[in-house]
Amino acid sequence: MKAKDPVTGSNVAIKLASIAILRDKVLLKRFEQEYRSTSNLDHPNIVRALEFGWVGSRPFIVFEYVEGEDIGARIARAGKLPEAEAVGYIVQIAQGLHEAHKSGIIHCDLKPDNILLTLNGQAKLADLGLAKDLESNMELTCDNRGIGTPNFIAPEQFGDAEHSGVRCDVYSLGATLYMAVTGKMPFAGADLSAILEQKLADKLMPPKRLVPALSDHVDWAIRRALLNDPDRRFGSCPEFIAALAAEGKKSGSHVLRPSKSIGRKPSAKLNRPAKERRRAVRYECVLSTKCIINLSVHPDGDDPSTPWDAQVCDLSVTGIGVLVSRRFEPGSVVSLVLASKSGDFERTRQVRVLRVTRAEGSGWFVGCELLEKLSRDEVRQLL
């Protein structure tokens, strides 16, 4: 939320830990880690963390306030960005990331929604909630909770998030630039397994095929950054920056040859959580609800979340099907405010998106698992 610093009078953004974070020791440590990671970084392209404190039993972080919008919102509003503008933003973020890398910090979850744009065109990297301190002994990225947003993270992060490195962040930079210049997701699968299969097989639609006017060297740089094999990507942010500036053209051919790992299938362990499993009876229903996306730093208002009207189509103690106007990527965690038709009974639950399919007419059908189950009595009251 937006607030004022009582000493300087300047605007600041306050991130307050949610109740869900307080209930989970790993998430709570990760919240504290976000402040430690960011407070040690002083770079014009990284949102600065100013203070850490507690309100009762809930911790909070005070960040510098960024007046503007994020790249994800810009793309949703205006469509794909002009090449020069998109590359300019990514180069700025790459410079900030390189500073973090030099300090031993890996972001692990870079995506369009985490890049804030000031009114004068400066790009700032936000949300180091999954950041990994290479000098820390805290293993906060070694389970499924350490997986960042699936479409933008490197394939190796799906199964080995503990060993995320610089080349993972380079991959995310490439994925973000792909979406910025094309207006499309680089890998738009219906579920986690489908996305991972495309990544492992390097099944990427070349951005230049979608935007013929795109420069050859930018097309090549994006495709190299998004290669499945980490050893074949750029080894650092400065290398990626040089390629975007066309300097990389002098160093060798722009032909990307198939990797030997193409065709490798995801393991059974990775397949299991990606598939929606109906472990309880689903009841068809029509309930109004709101999908709420929690943001680390909200760029343009006092409310630290963005609500989207939705309609519940079926409900059980463990899962829910929702019809919504926007696409939520598989793996996303959103909050749903569930209310009975009479309005006298309400529950709020966080859900994880498992499957996304186009609905007839318009909108998206989103199949989710409830991170905290409903009781049978609660389901009956909602219905």
Give the separation between CA 273 and CA 198, rounded to whole angstroms.
Answer: 17
Backbone angles phi, psi at 240, to 5 degrees: -65, -45
Q: How many helices (H) and strands (E) does the chain have?
A: 12, 15
Kindly report the number of other CB atoms within 10 A of residue 56's CB atom. 5
Helix residue ranges per DSSP H, the chain:
19-22, 25-39, 71-78, 83-102, 156-159, 166-182, 192-200, 207-210, 216-225, 237-244, 268-274, 376-382
Asked if 334 contacts 306 with a C-beta cutoff of 8 angstroms, the reply is no
User: Of residues 5, 24, 42, 109, which has the active-site annotation?
Assistant: 109
Nearest residue to 224 (alpha-carbon basis) of 206, 212, 210, 211: 206
Give the separation between CA 255 and CA 58, rounded to whole angstroms.
Answer: 52
Place of tokens 């598939």: 275
DSSP letter assigned to residue 374: P
Give the separation between CA 349 and CA 20, rounded to whole angstroms.
Answer: 10
Nearest residue to 173 (alpha-carbon basis) of 103, 101, 104: 101
Structure tokens at 194: 């489908």
Asked if 287 contacts 339 with a C-beta cutoff of 8 angstroms, the reply is yes
For the chain, the C-alpha Rg in angstroms (whole number) is 21
Q: Kindly list the strands in the beta sheet with 115-118, ordered across the sheet, starting from the edge strand earlier in the chain.
A: 68-70, 115-118, 123-125
Q: Would you call 300 a catalytic residue per the annotation? A: no
Helix, strand, coil percentages (3-state) for the chain, rounded to 5, are 35, 25, 40
What residues act catalytically?
109
